[in-house]
Structure 1
Amino acid sequence: MPRSVRSFTADINGHRIHKPNLNGHSNMKTGRKGPDNEGLFGTIMSFLNTYVAPPLVILCMPTLVMATCYLDDHHAGELLSFVKEIQDTPVGQMLLRIWNPLTKIDLVVMVTVLVYMAWAVIWMVVLPGPQVEGPMTSHGNIPVYRDNGFRHYIVTMTGSVLFTVVLKLSGSTPTFIYDRFSEFAALMNVLAVVVVFMLYIKGIYKPSTSDSGKTGKGFLFDYYWGTELYPRVFGIDIKVFTNCRFGMTVWPLLVLVFALKSYELHGLIDSMFVSSVLQLIYVSKFFIWEGGYYQTMDIVQDRAGFYICWGCLALVPPLYPIASRYLVSHPVELGPLSSAVLLIIGTVSIYVNYQADEQKTLARKTSGNCVIWGTKPDVIRAKHVLQSGKKKKSIILASGWWGVSRHFHYIPEVLLAACWTLPAGFSHFLPYAYLLFLTILLVHRTFRDDRKCAQKYGHFWKTYCGKVRYRIIPYVF
């Protein structure tokens, strides 16, 4: 570790982060140029990612999220009738209709959101867990986390069941969240926009580490991308809260609420059962593996801006469990055979996705001295240079699932999403919105990840790409 690196200990939840002095906050540079960054294609992509995507996402995505709620509330998921309304209605009036839930937000909605946030923060601080480190950043910082995500998940899900029992005994039900879901979505949209702006200011004037500051690409890009990689407030890691304790935890809570609402209306429906079970298993897997998540692009590359924090606060709750919400008002009888097939394929997909992540983690932990698929793995011992000038060694795994394609683990993820969406049938497009979003997101992410790795590892990454030629689907893409 460079001499300029010193240790900082958070005063609440035990997180530590090693950081250099904060005398001037430079851009997050990634080192040498890679082949994907050169030429006309690289120039075009850089322009689109810097000047086109940020304003489009910031301006359009909140309304698109609210539009999915409006489509479900007022058109029962019927896309064509929604399009006809858009064609027949002036733009301003249509926007007012879509955003009308803002006018219905009351104390019940606000208190529900704030109480959950307080619950999440308290257990995030109180629950024990082993210490895990993220990878060293280009500025020499090493984020340290308390890996208590699975405990937090179990406590929260158990608490939700007990809360449901108490409400039911008192003659009430938590399914008021389903009944007023558009209002919750509208509140989170506004709240997330404000939170992201506060993070933008913090990253400039009160950063937690030297991986912070303006990028020099203008306010819109900095607001979109963020001005800080690892922001912490009173010791609370903001990205762990937004990504894990809010987005990934509210998702299964909503699945339970929607399943309960379906049961209240229709009794036990196999389509809702299959969709709910697969989503809950997937999220459970995520929290079991949360220590590995701290090594992923979401944490180590994406700054705490609109892209990641607004997404986890305002996009994940309405979009990710959208199949479950749709099934409340559109129950489908699958039958035993279809239910079993979807459950089996979905469960196998979860296992393959988990195994791929574990293979990479194992190879890194053992420096390649392990067994994968019965043999010693093929690893590339790469080196890269930090901004401090210090050289660091890394492992690039070219065996197991990582020898099939460079991002093979995205295939079971998409297949799983299809398995919990297909129970909704084919009458409407709405329940497939998440599946479409996920496919686009993951394909785009393969380009981002390859470009980042090419910049970071240089010829070592070229060697890996020579061994593993395909991005996702062997012999296809």
Structure 2
Amino acid sequence: MTASELNPRTKHYEFLGPPGAFLISVGVTFMVYALYFGCSETSGGCPPPLELIPQRLTSSLASKSFWLSLFDAKGASYYFGWYAFCVVAWMLLPGDWVEGTVLRTGGKQVYKINAFSTFLLSLGLTAGTIWRFGFGSFTFIYEHWVGIVTAAVIMAIGQAFLVYAMSFRSGELLALGGNSGNFIYDWFIGRGLNPTIGYLDLKSFNELRPGLILWVLINISMACEQAVRRGGNITDSMWLVLVFQAWYVADGLYNEPALFTTIDITTDGFGYMLSFGDLAWVPFVYSLQARYLVFNQVELGPIMTTVVFLVNASGYWIFRAANGEKNDFRNGRNPKNLKFMTTASGSKLLTSGWWGFSRHPNYVGDLLMALSWSMATGFNTPVTYFYPIYFAVLLIHRQLRDEEKCSKKYGADWEKYTKLVPWRMIPYVY
């Protein structure tokens, strides 16, 4: 197979092409800061009075001191030190090497499995620090929030340029959707499919370790800040957010091999879209609820606590049960004797169990969990509900991309399948 056959030119743009890629790159970066300055102790509310926002925005953007304040040397040292710790942990902690799906070259990418061990080590060191030096020893993330965010953005931008340059190495396998020839678009969407440095696969490493684990550490820092202010205890709402989100992250890290069959790994290139999402968006946007609860301390009480717990538990049950059925089936097991249809290409598609209710039942579970995290903050502001709203849009977009890919792959068989399983996500709704 020639290089042009192995890596054909991308002829179809997503996100409205290069202009959309540019606007999204700027927009999501801006949004991370906006969610802080629009929902913090110093902003005058969450959100601040709407009539004040335009004047504050224009004066800040025109101020040199404001731009300089976004960088914090101590915050940067914390972030880059954390990233280095994740790399060293990947290198030194034991872990199995597993193969991913078959690539277009006929080979398979190999991944080291030790994300959960890295998570446990991080939690152990954090717990030891707090036990030895008190809650105040771990409030530095709250205190240096903007500087740490800026360091993460710098890392994401730098990695996007690095992997774009790496994609021109001889023999590099490119993402089918990221080889358009337009620099802005390919830099954003990701030109290289599996950029590696030595044995380190950058895409899967960033997907699970630096940002996802940092999300939990940020929440712990927020809980410590609240504990300092309250004299050593935290609210029931903070406990719910802390436990729910830590469990969600632990579940993903423990089931690390499941990542290697997702569209992020098998199909998408690694560019700014994923580097920013993994390193900046996930830890600093997804932790909004915990940060809000530092300065808006919500006591839910037993009834509301039970309601929020049940919503989260229902979501997790659906999410884990649906993914369990799918993973069993992909690995040649069918313990529940689920029904399926066989396509002309030989692929098998589940048509019963959770996958008979809808074509993406795991997304429904994900959304219920996201909703429960925001419910823990109460109902005084819409800002803390940003995550489930954004997540719903993301999952619908991902579902549309996935189904477009399946339609091309299976042809008439896909139409037959959609008649057997007509609902995309939520039965009788969508």
Say whether the fold is shared (TM-score over 0.5). yes
1:27-64 residue CA offsets vs partner (Å, 9 max, x unmatched): 4879xxxxxxxxxxxx9xx5644244312111211111
Structure 1 residue identity aligned to 2:22: P
Relative to 1, partners in 2 of residues 1:104 and 1:216: Cα closer, same or farther, differing over 3 Å?
A: closer
Per the TM alignment, residue 351 of structure 1 is displaced from its structure 2 partner at its CA by 2.3
3-state DSSP class of the match of 1:135? strand
Does residue 1:320 correspond to 2:281, yes or no?
Answer: no
Task: Find the counterpart in structure 2 of residue 227 from structure 1.
Answer: 191
For the pair 1:60 / 2:27, whether they are aligned, the reply is yes
Q: Contact 2:186–2:271 at 8 Å: present in 1 too?
A: yes
- Paired position in structure 2 for 1:16: none
* Residues 315 and 28 of structure 1: CA distance in aligned 2, closer, same or farther (over 3 Å): farther
The aligned counterpart of 1:404 is 357
Distance 1:213 1:417 in 2: 29
Match for residue 388 of structure 1?
Answer: none
Partner of 2:156: 192
Task: Identify the residue that residue 310 of structure 2 maps to in structure 1.
Answer: 344
Q: State yes or no: 1:330 paired with 2:296.
A: yes
Aligned to 1:143, the other structure's residue is in SS state: strand
**What code does the residue aligned with 1:379 have?**
F
Letter in 2 for 1:281: W
Q: Does the CA-based 8 Å contact 1:252-1:283 persist in structure 2?
A: yes
Question: 1: CA distance between counterparts of 2:54 and 2:289?
Answer: 26
When residues 256 and 172 of structure 1 are mapped into structure 2, their CA distance, relative to the original with a 3 A threshold, is closer
Query: Which whole-Å CA distance do the structure 2 matches of 1:107 and 1:48 have between them?
Result: 35
Q: Offset of 1:289 from its aligned partner? A: 1.4
2:81 aligned with 1:115, yes or no?
yes
The structure 2 residue matched to 1:79, chosen from 47, 64, 88, is 47
Pairwise CA distance, 1:146: 2.2
Residues 1:173 and 1:406: Cα distance change in structure 2 (over 3 Å): same
1:382 corresponds to which residue? 343
Distance 1:348 1:129, change over 3 A: farther
1:79 deviates by 2.3
Letter in 1 for 2:21: P
CA contact (8 A) 1:278 1:420 kept: yes
Residue 26 (str. 1) matches residue 7 (str. 2): yes
How far off is 1:328 after superposition?
A: 0.5
**Alignment correspondent of 2:204:** 240
Partner of 1:154: 120
- Structure number with the bigger relative contact order (C-alpha 8 A, sep ≥ 6) is 1
Q: CA deviation at 1:126?
A: 2.1
Q: Which runs of 5+ in 1 are unaligned?
A: 5-20, 31-42, 385-392
Computed over aligned residues only, the root mean square deviation of the Cα atoms, in angstroms, reads 2.6
| Residue in 1 that maps onto 2:370 | 417
Judged with a 3 Å threshold, the aligned counterparts in structure 2 of structure 1 residues 219 and 199 are, in CA distance, closer, same or farther, namely same
Q: Which segment drifts farther, 126-135 or 416-425?
A: 126-135
* 1:70–1:98 Cα contact (<8 Å) kept: no
Match of 1:88 in 2: 55
Aligned residues: 427
- Evaluate the alpha carbon distance shift between residue 22 and residue 262 of structure 1 in structure 2; reply closer, same or farther with a 3 A threshold: farther
1:164 aligns with 2:130: yes
1:196 is paired with a residue whose SS is helix
Rounded Cα–Cα distance in structure 2 between residues aligned with 1:475 and 1:153: 39
Q: SS at the partner of 1:132? A: strand
TM-superposed deviation, 1:329: 0.5
Q: Does residue 411 of structure 2 align to residue 458 of structure 1?
A: yes
**Partner SS, residue 152 of structure 1:** helix
Deviations 1:330-351 (Å, cap 9, x if unpaired)?
A: 0011011211221233123212
Q: Distance in 1 between matches of 2:159 and 2:300?
A: 42
- Report the Cα distance in structure 2 between the residues aligned to 1:342 and 1:187, rounded to whole angstroms: 34
Partner Cα distance (1:114, 1:435) in 2? 29
Shift of 1:164: 2.8
Q: Is the 8 A contact 1:204 1:213 kept in 2?
A: no
Task: Note if 1:442 corresponds to 2:395.
Answer: yes
Give yes or no for the alignment of 1:288 onto 2:269.
Answer: no
Judge conservation of contact 2:10–2:178 (CA < 8 Å) in 1.
no
Equivalent position SS for 1:252: helix
- Answer whether contact 1:70 1:182 (CA < 8 A) is retained: no
Counterparts of 1:213 and 1:473, CA distance in 2: 29
**Which position in structure 2 is the counterpart of 1:433?**
386
- Kindly indicate whether the alpha-carbon contact (under 8 Å) linking 2:61 and 2:67 is maintained by their aligned counterparts in 1: no
Give, in angstroms, the shift of residue 422 of structure 1: 0.8
Residue identity opposite 1:173 in structure 2:
S
Mark the CA change 1:273 to 1:96 in structure 2 (over 3 Å): closer, same or farther: farther
Instruction: Decide whether aligned partners of structure 1 residues 262 and 218 sit closer, same or farther in structure 2, where only a CA change above 3 A counts.
Output: same
Q: Are residues 265 and 379 of structure 1, via their aligned partners in 2, closer, same or farther at CA, if it must alter by over 3 Å?
A: same
Q: Render the CA deviation track for 1:163-196: whole Å, top value 9, x for unaligned.
A: 333443xx95121110111121122112211221
CA 1:200–1:358 in structure 2 vs 1: closer, same or farther (change >3 Å)?
same
Candidates 236, 240, 252, aligned match of 1:274: 240
- Could you tell me how far 1:130 is from its partner in structure 2? 3.1
The runs of at least 4 aligned residues of structure 1 exceeding 6 Å deviation read 21-25
Q: Residue by residue, what CA displacement relative to the aligned partner does 1:129-184 show, whole Å, maximum 9, x if unpaired?
A: 3333222233434222222222222122112212333443xx95121110111121
Determine if contact 1:67/1:98 at 8 Å carries over to the other structure: no
Question: CA separation of 1:102/1:227 partners in 2, compared to 1, >3 Å: closer, same or farther?
Answer: farther
Give the structure 2 partner of residue 9 of structure 1. none
SS at match of 2:342: strand
Number of the residue aligned with 2:329: 363
Determine the C-alpha separation between the residues in 1 that align with 2:263 and 2:313. Answer: 25
Q: Which residue of 2 aligns with 1:7?
A: none
Contact 1:28 1:211 in 2 (8 A): no
Partner residue of 1:177 out of 137, 141, 144 = 141
Deviation for aligned residue 1:293: 1.4
Gaps in structure 2 of 5+ consecutive residues: none
User: Who is 2:421 aligned against?
Assistant: 468
Per the alignment, residue 71 of structure 2 pairs with 105
From 217, 221, 224, the equivalent of 1:257 is: 221
